[in-house]
A and B are shown apart, each in its own frame.
Chain A
Amino acid sequence: MTTMTRTTPGDTRSAEEIRAQRAAERAEGWRRRAPLLPALIFVIVCTQIPFLLTIWYSLRSRNLLRPEGEQFVGLSNFADIFLDSTFRTAALNSVIITFGCVFVALLLGLGLALLLDRPFAGRGVVRTLLITPFLIMPVAGAMLWSISMFNPSYGLVNWLIGLVGISPVDWTSQYPVLSIVIALVWQWTPFMMLLLLAGLQSQQRDVLEAAAMDGATTWETFRYVTLPHLRFYIELSVLLGVIYVVNTFDHIYLMTAGGPGTASANLPFYIYQRAFLGFDIGQSAAMGVVTVIATIIISLLALRLIFRGLNAKEQQ
């Protein structure tokens, strides 16, 4: 009996304690969550709701020019776009422009970063000159290239190649994709250079000195010491570059308007064209959904990398 009376109040007290503890934990959880919620809600409202609507549109036939015909059509928009040869061209152009630009900009950026990773007179000035193309407003950069540089009659590029006897080229009509890639490479090389230079300068000097002491040549040091160290920075620049460049719209809109015909349209431009010039909401929404799925696949790779890098850093 005595043991009973002793344990029962003890049990109720601990149950109360557990309840109180849980309530405290819950309150603490909400206290921690509170600062996060405004930003979280803001982003959800601005990005997820429109995206859900895009999915909804993609399952319906909706054309602003034919308002009477809106109805649920299942996946037929998706079937249509895969039969649409322009969509395939645009998808291919997206791949060519994105990877062409990122690859060339990475190589040039790496070269420039290596050149800048040694002390010399005017290093700060050179670095400042080199990052400027990235800071120029993209709209201004696109128009600068399409008009001042690539214009067939008074463009600077044709004047330059004329000096060595090459006849004038109508760059944005004859080589629209190449022209766009050149303008994009000019804009994105500084981005690659900045990240890779930060990578080079985070190398431990004593490791490099040790390599030199051990009789390693410059190339061997680069290949076996610098390059492995740069791996994280190279991967990061490529993936961030892809994420930004895959969405390229300004340059295509202003330099070629996707032309001639649809020869240089990428996915963002073609979707825009179908939505705002063709008023075909259903199809452009379906293309948007397909683009998002493709981007998610790339992004998952990107995110895994960034998290790996961050976790490695936080453990240090």
Chain B
Amino acid sequence: MSTITAQQAGTGRRSTGTLLTAFTWVVALVFFAPVVWMVLTSFKHESEAAASPPSFFFQPTLEQYRNIFTADAGPYFLNSVIATAASTLLVLVLAVPAAYALSIRPVKRTQDALFFFISTKMLPIVAVIMPIYVIAGQIRMLDNILTLIILYTAMNLPIAIWMMRSFFLEVPGEVLEAASIDGASLLKTMRSVLIPMVAPGIAATALICVIFAWNEFFFALNLTAANAATAPIYLMSTMTSEGLFLAQLSAASVLASLPVVLAGWFAQKQLVRGLSMGAVK
């Protein structure tokens, strides 16, 4: 008797499990559907892209991607790459020593400094855009990629310092003591002991900086024009006065999103830690 009920309970639990799994899959697919739709649309001709009812079966074409590569999208993407790579590099150069000074050999008012950095992240960007616009105009830096690099660095630096600090705090004290007994200088300790130990942290920090810089729209919209415009601005430009090119917009969206999507997919663990500024491991 008891074995039978146990078996029944077992099959009951198993079928609940199967149902839950099926439900989870359905929810995930519904959630993902807009992405699928974007990708599908990018392989359509313009006439099919705006068809009503929506066309699910169609002759796929690479026309839109070809258009983007032959059109003038190159400079926009190049600007995005430059702004993202340069600002991320600059962030790391500034954030790693700063995080060191807030963790391993902390300055006196560490908490105040941390508080200051993160509070700047909470200032609405819109509250400072006008002075930045005026200053950039006066020093002839409007529509200049250098302006974006500086602003993206300032935007990501607080997050990077917090993240790097959380990685430095995990370095065991004995390692540092051993290095200081050896009489290694600060720079040498940094280079040969610390940096290799926090290398995964540096990679995770870089990932977060890349995501935010690559996707940034507000500064790019207001401070750039023909020369320094980035990929998000290119997406917008597919809405022209002659109308909307939906298929081409979709193809451009896929291309513009691809780098961050792939990076995020492959570094899901680091993503969580970065998004919580190091608070969640």
Contacts and interface: CB of A to CB of B under 8 A. Distances in A.
A147 B249 contact: yes
A276 B35 contact: no
B38 A140 contact: yes
Contact of B21 (A35, A120, A299, A309): A120
Given A35-B97, A240-B276, A246-B124, A288 B130 contact: yes
Contact of A136 (B101, B257, B275): B257
Contact of A140 (B94, B235, B280): B235
A128 B256 contact: no
A140 B129 CA distance: 23
Most chain B beta-carbon contacts within 10 A, residue among A32, A121, A186, A240: A32
Interface in B115-159: 115-132, 134-135, 150-151, 153-154, 157-158
A135 B281 contact: no
Contact of B264 (A54, A131, A162): A131
Q: Interface residues of B toward A: which range?
A: 35 or more
A91 interface: no
Contacts of A83: none
A191 B250 CA distance: 24
A253 B108 CA distance: 44
Contact of B122 (A139, A267, A272, A299): A299
Contacts of B218: 249-250
Interface in B6-44: 17, 20-21, 23-25, 27-29, 31-32, 34-35, 37-38, 41
Interface of A: 29, 31-36, 38-40, 42-43, 46-51, 53-54, 57, 112, 115-116, 118, 120-122, 126-140, 143-145, 147-149, 151, 153-154, 156, 159, 162, 186, 189, 191, 194-195, 197-199, 202, 233, 236, 240, 243, 246-247, 249-250, 253-254, 267-268, 271-272, 275-276, 281, 284-285, 288-289, 291-292, 295-296, 298-299, 302-303, 306-307, 309-310, 313-314
25 contacts: A33-B101, A38-B97, A42-B94, A51-B127, A53-B134, A120-B17, A127-B268, A130-B32, A131-B265, A132-B35, A132-B261, A132-B265, A137-B215, A148-B34, A148-B41, A154-B50, A159-B53, A195-B280, A198-B272, A247-B124, A250-B232, A284-B130, A291-B126, A296-B119, A307-B115
